[in-house]
């Protein structure tokens, strides 16, 4: 997932996970997204596949900086946790699980398409991850702001509060530093 846009940029479903599959997925995702010259960071958990030598070598080849969750911190990536919650509670989630690998892959493709292109994400002012990833969100948010302001001018009696904040979110931080409190 690209944390700036929240877009699922690459995923695969396999019967098991390992470093070779992870390295191949990263390679294909970089090619698909055409971002091989970008300064990239891959933040992952501390699982065997993510820490494997095979994946570490591939990241080095692609000039991707590896980053891992802090030890004993299970929810170190709030963006991934949010995605997993959406995935688990989406109405289309199969209650009885998946019958086979093909069924899981088809469901994953459908979910990814829905999440990227239809799901309006609250963390990015209710645009889709795909819209934000393509840079369409700035114009959408400006248009929404104009509509809300115009409606407030036409019908000021409908509310005393200001309109919704449709400002573009410029900066996204994985684990922001907390302000130190002096007692």
What is the C-alpha to C-alpha distance for residues 39 and 31, in angstroms, rounded to an integer? 14
Whole-number CA gyration radius for the chain? 20
Q: Are residues 43 and 116 both part of a single domain? A: yes
Give whole-number Cα distances, 174 to 2, 29, 70, in Å.
11, 20, 12
Q: Do strands 64-68 and 40-44 pair parallel, antiparallel, or not at all (unpaired)?
A: parallel
What is the C-alpha to C-alpha distance for residues 34 and 37, in angstroms, rounded to an integer? 8
For residue 183, being part of any structural domain is answered with no
pLDDT of residue 162: 81
For residue 146, being part of any structural domain is answered with yes
Express each pLDDT in 103-141 by its tens digit.
Answer: 999 999 999 999 999 999 998 999 999 999 999 999 999
Express each pLDDT in 24-52 by its tens digit.
Answer: 999 999 999 999 888 999 998 888 999 99
Count other C-beta atoms under 10 Å from residue 22's C-beta: 24
Q: Are residues 118 and 141 both part of a single domain? A: no
What is the C-alpha to C-alpha distance for residues 67 and 80, in angstroms, rounded to an integer? 14
**Domain extent for 142:** 136-170
What is the C-alpha to C-alpha distance for residues 128 and 49, in angstroms, rounded to an integer? 30
Q: For residue 81, give both structure tokens.
A: 């946790």
H helices within 90-161, ranges in order? 101-117, 129-133, 137-154
Is pLDDT above 80 for 22?
yes
Query: pTM here?
Result: 0.86
Is pLDDT above 80 for 180?
no
Q: Are residues 161 and 90 both part of a single domain? A: no
For residue 164, being part of any structural domain is answered with yes
pLDDT of residue 53: 97
Q: Are residues 118 and 159 both part of a single domain? A: no
Q: Are residues 115 and 49 both part of a single domain? A: yes
Q: Give CA 152 to chain center in angstroms.
A: 33
What is the C-alpha to C-alpha distance for residues 4 and 77, in angstroms, rounded to an integer? 13
Number of domains in the chain: 2
Q: Are residues 159 and 118 both part of a single domain? A: no
């Amino acid at each position: 997932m690209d944390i700036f846009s929240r877009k699922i940029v690459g995923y695969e479903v396999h019967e098991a996970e390992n470093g070779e599959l992870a390295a191949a997925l990263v390679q294909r995702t970089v090619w698909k997204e055409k971002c091989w010259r970008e300064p990239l960071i891959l933040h992952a958990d501390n699982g065997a596949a993510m820490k494997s030598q095979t994946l570490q070598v591939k990241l080095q080849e692609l000039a991707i900086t590896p980053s891992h969750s802090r030890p004993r911190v299970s929810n170190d990536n709030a963006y991934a946790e949010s995605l997993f919650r959406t995935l688990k509670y989406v109405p289309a989630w199969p209650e009885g699980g998946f019958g086979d690998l093909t069924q899981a892959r088809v469901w994953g493709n459908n979910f990814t398409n829905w999440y990227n292109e239809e799901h309006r994400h609250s963390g990015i002012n209710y645009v889709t991850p795909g819209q934000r990833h393509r840079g369409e969100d700035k114009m959408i948010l400006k248009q929404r702001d104009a509509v809300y302001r115009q409606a407030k001018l036409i019908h000021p009696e409908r509310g005393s509060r200001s309109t919704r904040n449709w400002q573009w979110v410029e900066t996204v931080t994985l684990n922001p530093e907390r302000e130190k409190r002096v007692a």
